Amino acid sequence: MFGKTIVFLALTLGHLSAAAHEHGHTGAEATYLGNEAIMVTEDGAKILFDPLFPNGFGIYQMVPSDMRSALMAGEAPYDNVDAIFVSHMHADHFEVGAVIAYLERHLETRLYAPQQAVELMKVETDPDSAIFDRVIGIGLERLDTPETYTLGDIQIDAVRIPHAGWPGRAEISNLVFRATLPDGTTVMHMGDADPNLVHFEPYEDHWNAKRTDTAFPPYWFFLGGDGPLILSQTLNAKTAVGVHVPMVVPADLIASGADYLSVPGETRAVSDAD
């Protein structure tokens, strides 16, 4: 998507170990659902990124029907979800009706989403519905100061980083979420961020304020532009695992040696157990 320059980042972005120590907690784990949909768990905490969407456009991996049904029903391992995060309102990331239905059924789950997505929800259901007591609409503009939130022992922050193809999609609110789970593991979900350093440099203090254990960028960050530099230096992330990978995995992504998720049900260790 952004050229054929292949930058090998094996030292920083290699495959994550699934091993855990024999004592202490079990460590955080990410489970891939489809496209950019990821579930991250650590002991009692459970969060989902972009889990409900209606369209892969014949290119991107959909969440399998049995997995989606279990998710909607709250069947294990998709039970007791603390929060859902939506990066942006495109149909391969966000389904209005399904998110409303999920929140109506699961009364303890909070939703963090761009205000653009929340406004769509209010068109599709009663804007005075009780579900909106658990919906946090984030109305950040480009270059706004990051916003921070607390959900129990989970710490969350959000930054608006332009959608890939900027400035052509400048009107789309794409959020990069960073979440720290109760045991201290920090993950970052980048939505469809544009791999241009100019978007990330204004937030240098923000990235450096907290070390991210694993970032989940769209796969094109590994392949060109400023993407490899952003991943290896700017974000202050220990490692990165690509998502938004087409069902036919690009040859240059395979050749890059980068880690990525493309098969529903795949898991990665996000942090080692203590």
**Percent with pLDDT over 90 in the chain:** 87
Asked if 251 and 223 touch (Cβ cutoff 8 Å), the reply is no
Confidence band, pLDDT 50/70/90 cuts, at residue 16: very low
Average pLDDT of the chain?
91
Fold topology of 27-210: Metallo-beta-lactamase; Chain A (3.60.15)
Answer yes or no: is pLDDT of 2 > 70: no
Give the contacts of 123 (CB within 8 A, at least 6 positions apart): 96
DSSP-derived 3-state class of residue 42? strand
First vs last Cα of the chain: how many Å apart?
A: 39
Using alpha carbons, list the distances in angstroms from residue 158 to 46, 58, 85, 142: 18, 30, 10, 12
pLDDT in tens, 241-271: 999 999 999 999 999 999 999 999 999 999 7
Alpha-carbon distance of 105 to 205, in angstroms, equals 39
What residue has token string 């094996």?
Answer: 10
Least confident span in 30-34, 116-120, 244-248, 269-273: 269-273
Query: Quick one: CA dihedral 176, 181, 183, 187, positive or negative?
Result: negative
Residues 2-28 have a mean pLDDT of 40
pLDDT for 46: 98
pLDDT in tens, 157-201: 999 999 999 999 999 999 999 999 999 999 999 999 999 999 999
Using alpha carbons, list the distances in angstroms from residue 91 to 80, 87, 118, 155: 25, 11, 14, 27
DSSP result, 221-273: GGTSTTHHHIIIIIS-EEEE-BBS-BSS--HHHHHHT--B--STT-EEESS--
